[in-house]
Amino acid sequence: MKQNSTLGNLPNPSAAHQRDSLPNTTGATREPLLNEQQAAEFLNIRPGTLACWRVTKRYPLPYVKIGRSVRYRRSDLEAFAAAREQGADDLAQGDE
């Protein structure tokens, strides 16, 4: 039995449905990603500083690589900043 060549090239709709219905096991959220410039502005630093931190692994700041592009999640930037927050309580403990 000869198969119709045009039908052989069509995607399998059930396979596409299965792929789309798989649970997200990566734990990644679907929040918008910020580019390097936007992330740098959020942290009030230069984009080159972010690049330096990334290359040297100076800080554990998560990022997403999409091809050659680097993207950051706003929640990761907020957590990064919060982890480095210095408050009056921290300063008072040093004086004791």
> 26 or 65, which is more confident?
65
- Is this prediction's pTM over 0.85? no
Separation of CA 5 from chain center:
41
pLDDT, one tens digit per residue, over 31-68 is: 899 999 999 999 999 999 999 999 999 999 999 999 99
| Average pLDDT value for residue range 86-92 | 68
Q: In the structure, what pLDDT confidence band is assigned to residue 91 with cuts at 50, 70 and 90?
A: low
Q: Does 91 map to a domain?
A: no
Structural domain containing residue 41:
31-85
Q: Does 49 map to a domain?
A: yes
Instruction: Find the CATH number of the domain harbouring 56.
Output: 1.10.10
Spatial distance between the Cα atoms of 91 and 84, rounded to a whole number of angstroms:
13
| Average pLDDT value for residue range 1-10 | 53
Instruction: Work out how many domains the chain is built from and give that number.
Output: 1
